[in-house]
C-alpha cells in the first residue's frame, strides 16, 4: 500500500481496474473501446452472484453514477447498450440475497436482534482489532472500508426524493450531519481521508478498488442497488437504519483499536465522532425515518426488514473473509 498526500476531493477519477473474469473483462472492453459490445445479459445466469467477476462488473457500472473512471466518457453512465447487462447483474445479486436472508420478517423482528449487542465476538472484526489486531490489519481494514467511506452518505441520498413527511425530514437531518453540517472539513468522507493519512494510506478516491475482494465490493454494491431503484426504497431505509443502529458500538471498539495500535489522532477521531453522532442518529432513524415511512406506506414493512437483514448477511460474509485470512496469517487485500 503506497501512501500519498493527494486530496481525495480532487476531480480526478480512479483508474480502470483489471478484470476478474469474462463478465468484467467484456464490460471493461466495451467501456474502453466503444466499438466493442457489452457482454450478453444471458451470460450472467451462470455467474456466482457473490463472486469476484459479477461483483466487480456491477461495481464498475455503479461507479459510473459516482465519479466514473479515468478515460471513460461521462455519457456512458446511462448508455442504453449497458442497461441490459446492469439489470441482469442486479437481478442475479438481488435474487440471491432474497433467497439467502430470512423471508417474511417484520421490521420489529429484524431490529429486535440489532438492538442487542451479541456476546459472541468470534466473528467481529471490530472486537478483533480492539483486543488483538495489529497495525497492518487496521490499515487493511481502512483500505477495504475506503470504497464506501470516501463516498459516505452519497448512496443514501438517492432515497430522499422518494420519501415524504417525517421520513424525509429525518433522513435529511441525518444526511446533513454526514455531509458535515455545512462545513466541508467535517464531511465524514473527509474525516475518513484524514484517518487514512494517519495510517499512511493512499487517500485518493477509489484507489483500493483493485485490492478489494468480492465480499467488500458486495457491501458497497448493496447500498447503490437499493439507492438507484425507487421500488427498493424500503430496503434502502432498512439498510440505512441497520447501519446507524449498529454503528455506535462498533465505532467505540474501533476507536479503542486506533488508540491501542497508535494509529493516530485523526484515525481515532473518525470513529469517536461516529460513537456520539450515530447514537443520536439511531433514535432519529428508528422513530422518524423508519416510523415515518411505515406510517405512510405500511406495505413496505417486509422490505425494510429485508434491507436490514441483507446488510447483516453481507457484512457477516465480509467479516468472515477478513478474519479467516488474518487468522491464517495472510493479507485480506487482493494482490494487484
> Which residues contact residue 231 at a Cβ distance below 8 angstroms, ignoring those fewer than 6 apart?
none
Which pLDDT score is estimated for 1?
56
Domain tally for the chain? Answer: 2
Residue 88 domain flag: yes
- Per-residue pLDDT tens over the stretch 202-233: 999 999 999 999 999 999 999 999 999 999 99
Show the cell assigned to 38: 457489452
> Does residue 336 sit within a domain?
no
- Do 153 and 159 form a contact (C-beta atoms < 8 A)? no
- Tell me what pLDDT residue 336 has: 64
For the chain, give the number of residues: 336
Q: How far is CA 3 from CA 145, 201, 310, 328, in A?
A: 16, 5, 34, 26
- Give the structural domain span for 171: 105-327
β-partners of residue 4 are 202
- 251 & 190 share domain: yes
pLDDT interval class at 10 (50, 70, 90): very low
Separation CA 228–CA 194 (nearest Å): 29
Q: pLDDT, tens digit, for every residue of 32-54? A: 997 899 999 999 999 999 999 99
Residue 312 is assigned to a structural domain of this protein: yes
Query: Is residue 237 one of the residues assigned to a domain?
Result: yes
Give percent above pLDDT 70 in the chain: 96
pLDDT in tens, 238-271: 999 999 998 888 899 999 999 999 999 999 999 9
Same domain, 161 and 294: yes
Q: What are phi and psi of 9, to 5 degrees?
A: -90, 5
Of 51, 82, 99, which residue sits at a domain end?
99
Please report the pLDDT score of residue 114 as a whole number: 87
Same domain for 281 and 161: yes
- For residue 42, what pLDDT is reported? 95
Residue 120 pLDDT = 73
More confident residue, 30 or 1: 30
Average pLDDT over the chain reads: 93
Nearest 10 degrees: CA dihedral of 229, 232, 233, 234? 180
Shared-domain flag, residues 264 and 170? yes
Instruction: Give the pLDDT score at 7.
Output: 46
Does one domain contain both 35 and 149? no
Under DSSP, is residue 85 helix (H, G, I), strand (E, B) or coil? Answer: helix
Do residues 80 and 143 share a domain?
no
Cα angle for residues 73, 48, 206 (degrees, 5° grid): 35
Q: Tell me, what's the pLDDT at 273?
A: 84
Say if residue 221 is in the same domain as residue 280. Answer: yes
Q: Which of 178-182, 193-197, 262-266, 276-280 has the lowest mean pLDDT?
A: 276-280
Q: What pLDDT is stored for residue 72 in this prediction?
A: 95
d(CA 106, CA 238): 11
pLDDT digits (tens, 9 = 90+) for 106-161: 999 999 988 877 777 788 999 999 999 999 999 999 999 999 999 999 999 999 99
- Domain boundary, last residue among 59, 78, 99: 99
Classify residue 4: in a domain, yes or no.
no
pLDDT at residue number 6: 40
- 134 in any annotated domain: yes
Tens of pLDDT, residue by residue over 18-31, are: 999 999 999 999 99
CATH classification at residue 304: 1.20.910.10
C-alpha cell at 104: 417474511
Please check whether residues 48 and 138 belong to one and the same domain: no
Q: For 66-102, b where at least 16 C-beta lie within 10 A, e where not — what string? A: bbbbeebeeebeebeebeebbebbbebbbebbeeebe
With H, G, I as helix, E, B as strand and everything else as coil, classify residue 194: helix
- Using CB atoms within 10 Å of the CB of residue 173, give its burial: 0 to 12 exposed, 13 to 18 middle, 19+ buried: middle
How many Cα atoms occupy the beta-carbon half-sphere of 289 within 13 Å? 29
Do 111 and 94 fall within a single domain? no
Q: What is the pLDDT of residues 269-306, one digit of tens each?
A: 999 888 876 677 888 999 999 999 999 999 999 999 99
**Whether residue 39 sits in one domain with residue 114:** no
Q: Would you say residue 172 has pLDDT above 80? A: yes
Q: Same domain, yes or no, for 295 and 273? A: yes
pLDDT in tens, 50-77: 999 999 999 999 999 999 999 999 999 9
In a domain, 183, yes or no: yes
Domain end, chosen from 46, 70, 99, is at 99
Give me the pLDDT at residue 123, please: 87
Any idea what DSSP says for residue 288?
I
Amino acid 35: pLDDT: 87
Give a yes or no: residue 9 inside a domain: no
- pLDDT exceeds cutoff 90 at 2: no
Do 136 and 55 fall within a single domain?
Answer: no
Residue 36 CA to residue 39 CA, distance in Å, equals: 9
Amino acid at each position: 500500500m503506497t501512501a500519498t498526500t493527494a486530496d481525495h476531493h480532487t476531480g480526478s477519477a480512479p483508474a480502470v481496474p483489471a478484470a476478474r473474469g469474462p463478465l468484467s473483462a467484456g464490460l471493461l472492453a466495451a467501456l474502453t473501446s466503444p466499438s466493442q459490445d457489452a457482454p450478453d445479459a444471458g451470460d450472467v445466469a451462470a455467474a456466482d452472484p457473490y463472486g469476484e467477476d459479477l461483483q466487480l462488473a456491477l461495481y464498475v457500472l455503479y461507479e459510473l453514477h459516482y465519479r466514473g473512471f479515468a478515460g471513460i466518457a461521462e455519457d456512458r453512465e446511462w448508455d442504453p447498450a449497458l442497461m441490459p447487462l446492469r439489470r441482469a447483474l442486479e437481478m442475479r445479486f438481488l435474487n440471491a440475497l432474497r433467497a439467502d436472508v430470512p423471508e417474511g420478517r417484520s421490521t420489529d423482528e429484524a431490529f429486535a436482534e440489532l438492538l442487542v449487542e451479541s456476546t459472541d465476538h468470534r466473528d467481529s472484526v471490530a472486537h478483533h482489532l480492539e483486543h488483538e489486531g495489529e497495525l497492518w490489519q487496521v490499515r487493511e481494514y481502512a483500505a477495504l472500508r475506503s470504497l464506501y467511506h470516501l463516498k459516505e452518505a452519497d448512496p443514501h441520498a438517492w432515497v430522499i426524493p422518494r420519501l415524504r413527511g417525517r421520513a424525509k425530514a429525518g433522513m435529511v437531518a441525518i444526511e446533513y450531519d454526514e455531509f458535515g453540517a455545512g462545513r466541508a472539513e467535517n464531511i465524514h468522507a473527509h474525516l475518513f481521508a484524514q484517518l487514512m493519512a494517519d495510517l499512511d494510506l493512499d487517500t485518493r478516491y477509489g484507489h483500493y478498488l483493485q485490492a478489494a475482494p468480492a465480499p467488500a465490493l458486495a457491501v458497497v454494491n448493496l447500498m447503490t442497488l437499493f439507492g438507484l431503484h425507487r421500488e427498493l426504497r424500503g430496503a434502502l431505509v432498512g439498510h440505512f437504519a441497520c447501519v446507524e443502529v449498529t454503528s455506535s458500538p462498533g465505532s467505540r471498539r474501533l476507536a479503542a483499536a486506533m488508540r491501542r495500535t497508535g494509529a493516530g489522532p485523526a484515525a481515532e477521531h473518525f470513529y469517536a465522532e461516529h460513537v456520539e453522532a450515530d447514537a443520536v442518529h439511531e433514535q432519529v432513524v428508528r422513530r422518524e425515518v423508519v416510523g415515518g415511512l411505515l406510517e405512510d406506506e405500511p406495505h413496505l414493512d417486509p422490505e425494510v426488514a429485508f434491507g436490514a437483514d441483507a446488510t447483516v448477511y453481507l457484512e457477516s460474509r465480509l467479516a468472515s473473509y477478513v478474519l479467516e485470512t488474518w487468522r491464517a496469517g495472510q493479507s485480506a487485500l487482493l494482490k494487484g
